Chain A
Amino acid sequence: MKEISVPLYINGREIRGDDVALEYEKSFGKVRLLLPSLGREKIGTISEGARELAGLSLDDVLSFLSRIGEVWADPDSGIRREAFDLARMVTGFHDRELETDFGYIPGLLSESVFLMPTLRAEFGDPRVLDEWSRIGGSRVKAFPWGRVLHILAGNVPGSELLSLVRGILTKNSNILKMATGNPVTPSYLMRSFIEADPEHPITRSTSVVYWPHQAEAEGAAYSLADAVCVWGGFDAVSAARKNARPGAPVLDYGPKRSMIFIDRESIGGPEALSATARGIACDMAVHDQLACHSPQVAFVERPTDRFCEALGDALSAAGREMPKGYVGVDQNAQISHARMMSELRGDRVYHPGTTEWTVIVTGEFARTAETPLSRTLYVIEVDDLKEAVEFVDPLTMVIGFSSSGKLEELKDRLALRGVDRLTRVGNMGLIPPGFPHECRYDLTRLVRWVGADDLPQW
């Protein structure tokens, strides 16, 4: 078994050790990652570093992040190559998926592509992060909350960078708690900070940590956190809400799932049918359906036979363009059980004879709750998409539409049901600057808005 040491970082300083072993067995054989064990005391030393970066100008912040972006933009960068090689062993994603994910990193760190458009979209005038600005009848300035603890999820490489970038743009200090599913990218991001400037205030206020489930280090980290960003499922989000200090904002990302709305016209002719199916297949292939924005259920106006067949073809084609990542025995077992249960219930099941993809036409929405993922889509037939609106709730992140017309027609009703984002199929995994995430603008939630009135004396 291959053994690889993965360092952790406290306030930008590397810590190595081998007390914690995490084992993975995906497409490239067994690998054991060795990490140092961080107890309560070690986590406590994070408090010796800067609590926030209020003294730093936004220009300083953007300039530093752009330098990091340049490191990740270079395909020959040692850090990027090492991170990629380790990520493919640990995450199980196919190389093409990881190439796409790594390809997003420079964009996310680019001032012109993502950072400034996002700041403008969320703050209007981002100078409010640097100076007192007049808003309405008040003078206000956006101050950092302090230390932000990011509880990361391992399902989608890249989400950790989005979380960290939000924390840095708002001049907070940051503690990244890596997920067991991906203890690679955060560690290498930190390495790129150190390579760029080991003494930079952002480097010295960033920590990358790990602790096993229910370790006492967890309590120590929460006690230091002025705000928490938590990514993941029900258990992770519930635990964060329970552990966060009173008054500390908890920004949760998950648990969510996404849906697709297909109207009759979009699948009427062969070309439209094929384009719609291609878009859906693309959305299902991204991150092998592990992300919140991945569609799990499609409401389709009758009849659906040709649609399901076309979607099957599109999924097979998508499998060639973006091959599925590692599928273990357990995951195959879940897919097989789901198919068998659907057959027993009398649902229609489409698959290629392997576990590559599955389309299940069911009459009962409740059955869609248990999905094996791995490119599985439940299809529910409706006479009119209006019937589907009642199944949307605040746990729905994205709805992908096959036509703009239906999106426009239903957008207000769906918004009131609690959906986060509406888009066209094929775009469900994209995050344009300015997009509200979980129905929030979180840069504005990661700052304390302070007012200093200059009203005339009474």
Chain B
Amino acid sequence: MDYEIDAFLDEPDPWRMDPDAIRVRKFAAIRQAFVHHYANCGVYRNFCDARGFNPDMLDSYGDLARVPLISTRAFKEGLSLLSVPQHEIVKVLHSSGTSGNRSRVPRDGITLTRFMKSLKQTILNVQGGSGYVAMLGPSPDELGDLAFANWARAGCELAEDHEFFLKNLSFDPAYCVERVNATKIRPVQIGGAPMLILMLADFILKSGNRITTLTAESRITSGGGFKTLTGEVVPRDEYDRRLVAAFGVDRSNIRDVYSMTEINGMISECARGVLHVPPWMHLSVRNPANLDEEIVPGAEGMPGFLDPCAHSYPGFVIADDIVRVAVAEGDRCACGRVGPCLDRSVRRAEGAEARGCGRHIEELRAGAAV
């Protein structure tokens, strides 16, 4: 069977396509995916039926706002969200975090192939990455089935050369500077977790041992959140300021990536500092007080994604995050690429445990000698 999404992923630069053409192709891809998941995933079908939505009702582009979205929490609870037979699952990619709190997303060969294509599209067309990649993180082999490993793998597959600098969970900034300065390949790209990038920046600022191979095409790309090991959040402005001082790059070349284990792709910052949603993925920012409603650009809402790359599970998900739309769908960002884009002020929704009295009740129950 031919899938609309596969042809879409082969476009040379989907972010610069005509917005009307994007809508047509995106709708076709998502409709095809919805029909597949409705037919093959019983849990999702029941969920849709309970909400009064079925494939006959997905008739036009406007109907995308009515496609039932699954909370990303569902993937942490082990609900059976399979749209293909179990034996077709090649990998169960998981999120970071404690074992009890990990998202576990089953992917078949079709989904994995699209995942890699999707990542590479973003790296090539939004991040502009290739050349030498210094990855401040463990190698994909060490990361195992962590979804983050695929980002690292995709980045390195596109590079002429690369090196992973977190070895046996140890990071040596002096060695990293030495290795990055030794490469003859340009441009040099640095990527990884924000905290390791900050460690490198602070080492450079303190030692004066600078990286000399960075050029105007170099990007410092992070992913995974701006929390320190002790849980403090480093403000983005401060992060950018320290990196500009340490690496001597333009602030527009400091980029962050937003993603989640449940989607097949990443949402990457452009030089204008907004996060570009891949054109084949539909962004539907929902009203937190009523998930059947979309919110207007600029207001805070919960990010829903209709991801037609997902074949083995319904990739119609809504995350525990709070976002704002910075560039509406169909509009163009100042960088020239088509929207939608999210403002970079993405954050986790604050949980009830932060307010109430009964935090960790279940963990405490488990430990209680009753």
User: Which positions in A face B, CB cutoff 8 Å?
Assistant: 153, 155-156, 181, 214, 232-235, 254-257, 289-292, 294, 296, 327, 329-337, 340-341, 343-346, 353-355, 366, 369-374, 393-395, 417-418
Please tell me if the beta carbons of A254 and B357 are within 8 angstroms of each other in the complex.
yes
Known interface pairs A233-B360, A332-B288; A393-B74 also in contact (CB < 8 Å): no
Complex alpha-carbon distance, A294 and B290, angstroms: 25
CB of B216 within 8 A of chain A? no
Contacts of A289 in B (CB 8 A): 356
Q: How far is the CB of B301 from chain A (nearest CB, A)?
A: 7
> Which parts of B335-370 form the interface with A (CB within 8 Å)?
349-353, 355-365, 368, 370
Contacts of B77 in A (CB 8 A): 341, 345
CB of B145 within 8 A of chain A? no
B322, B350, B370, most chain A CB atoms within 10 A:
B370
8 extra interface residue pairs, beta carbon distance < 8 Å, beyond A335-B288, A343-B51: A155-B355, A255-B357, A333-B288, A336-B290, A343-B47, A344-B74, A371-B352, A372-B352
Known interface pairs A255-B359, A256-B358, A355-B289; A233-B71 also in contact (CB < 8 Å): no
Complex alpha-carbon distance, A290 and B322, angstroms: 22
Contacts of A333 in B (CB 8 A): 288, 302, 320, 322, 349
CB of B79 within 8 A of chain A? yes
Complex alpha-carbon distance, A355 and B302, angstroms: 15
Nearest A residue to B44 by beta-carbon distance? A344
User: Which positions in B face A, CB cutoff 8 Å?
Assistant: 43, 46-47, 50-51, 69-71, 73-74, 77, 79, 230, 286-291, 300-302, 318, 320, 322, 349-353, 355-365, 368, 370
Please tell me if the beta carbons of B289 and A354 are within 8 angstroms of each other in the complex.
yes
Please tell me if the beta carbons of A329 and B362 are within 8 angstroms of each other in the complex.
no
Please tell me if the beta carbons of B320 and A233 are within 8 angstroms of each other in the complex.
no
Q: How far is the CB of B107 from chain A (nearest CB, A)?
A: 20
Contacts of A369 in B (CB 8 A): 361-362, 365
Q: Is the interface of A mostly helix, strand, loop or mixed?
A: loop
Nearest B residue to A353 by beta-carbon distance? B290
The listed residue (B289, B301, B361) touching A257 by CB distance below 8 A is B361
Contacts of A355 in B (CB 8 A): 288-290
Contacts of B370 in A (CB 8 A): 393-394, 417-418
Please tell me if the beta carbons of A395 and B361 are within 8 angstroms of each other in the complex.
yes
Contacts of A336 in B (CB 8 A): 286, 288-291, 302
B47, B71, B77, B291, most chain A CB atoms within 10 A:
B71
Contacts of A374 in B (CB 8 A): 352
Contacts of B356 in A (CB 8 A): 155, 233, 289-290, 294, 371, 373
List the 5 closest A-B pairs by CB distance, nearest first.
A369-B362, A332-B288, A257-B358, A233-B359, A333-B288
Contacts of B70 in A (CB 8 A): 340, 344
Complex alpha-carbon distance, A327 and B290, angstroms: 13
Nearest A residue to B74 by beta-carbon distance? A344
Contacts of A233 in B (CB 8 A): 353, 356-360
Contacts of A346 in B (CB 8 A): 46
The listed residue (B286, B291, B352, B362) touching A334 by CB distance below 8 A is B352
Please tell me if the beta carbons of A255 and B364 are within 8 angstroms of each other in the complex.
yes
Q: How far is the CB of A399 from chain B (nearest CB, A)?
A: 14
Complex alpha-carbon distance, A257 and B362, angstroms: 11
Contacts of A327 in B (CB 8 A): 289
Please tell me if the beta carbons of A337 and B71 are within 8 angstroms of each other in the complex.
yes
The listed residue (A234, A290, A344) touching B47 by CB distance below 8 A is A344
Please tell me if the beta carbons of B350 and A330 are within 8 angstroms of each other in the complex.
yes
Complex alpha-carbon distance, A366 and B362, angstroms: 7
Complex alpha-carbon distance, A335 and B288, angstroms: 8
Q: How far is the CB of B346 from chain A (nearest CB, A)?
A: 13
Contacts of B73 in A (CB 8 A): 337, 341
Nearest B residue to A154 by beta-carbon distance? B355
Please tell me if the beta carbons of A292 and B322 are within 8 angstroms of each other in the complex.
no
The listed residue (A256, A331, A343, A372) touching B357 by CB distance below 8 A is A256
Please tell me if the beta carbons of B322 and A330 are within 8 angstroms of each other in the complex.
yes
Nearest A residue to B288 by beta-carbon distance? A332
Complex alpha-carbon distance, A233 and B69, angstroms: 32
Please tell me if the beta carbons of B71 and A344 are within 8 angstroms of each other in the complex.
yes
Please tell me if the beta carbons of A257 and B71 are within 8 angstroms of each other in the complex.
no
Please tell me if the beta carbons of A235 and B359 are within 8 angstroms of each other in the complex.
yes
- Can you list 27 A-B pairs, Cβ within 8 angstroms, ordered by A? A153-B357, A155-B356, A156-B357, A290-B356, A290-B357, A292-B358, A296-B358, A330-B322, A331-B350, A332-B288, A333-B320, A334-B349, A334-B352, A336-B291, A337-B73, A340-B70, A340-B291, A341-B73, A353-B290, A354-B289, A354-B290, A355-B289, A355-B290, A393-B365, A393-B370, A395-B368, A417-B370
Nearest A residue to B347 by beta-carbon distance? A330
Q: How far is the CB of A350 from chain B (nearest CB, A)?
A: 14
Please tell me if the beta carbons of A155 and B357 are within 8 angstroms of each other in the complex.
yes
Nearest B residue to A342 by beta-carbon distance? B71
Contacts of A153 in B (CB 8 A): 357
Q: How far is the CB of A380 from chain B (nearest CB, A)?
A: 15
Known interface pairs A346-B46, A369-B362, A395-B368; A330-B349 also in contact (CB < 8 Å): yes
Complex alpha-carbon distance, A289 and B355, angstroms: 10
The listed residue (A232, A341, A373) touching B71 by CB distance below 8 A is A341
Contacts of B288 in A (CB 8 A): 329-330, 332-333, 335-336, 355
Known interface pairs A256-B357, A336-B289; A331-B71 also in contact (CB < 8 Å): no
Contacts of B43 in A (CB 8 A): 344
Nearest B residue to A253 by beta-carbon distance? B357
Nearest B residue to A417 by beta-carbon distance? B370
Q: How far is the CB of A297 from chain B (nearest CB, A)?
A: 10
Contacts of A292 in B (CB 8 A): 357-358
Please tell me if the beta carbons of B320 and A337 are within 8 angstroms of each other in the complex.
yes
Known interface pairs A333-B349, A373-B356; A341-B289 also in contact (CB < 8 Å): no
Q: How far is the CB of A145 from chain B (nearest CB, A)?
A: 25
Complex alpha-carbon distance, A388 and B302, angstroms: 36
Nearest B residue to A232 by beta-carbon distance? B357
Q: How far is the CB of B30 from chain A (nearest CB, A)?
A: 20
Contacts of B230 in A (CB 8 A): 214
Q: How far is the CB of A154 from chain B (nearest CB, A)?
A: 8
Please tell me if the beta carbons of A395 and B349 are within 8 angstroms of each other in the complex.
no
Q: How far is the CB of A191 from chain B (nearest CB, A)?
A: 27
Nearest B residue to A328 by beta-carbon distance? B350
Complex alpha-carbon distance, A155 and B349, angstroms: 19
A153, A329, A371, A374, most chain B CB atoms within 10 A:
A329
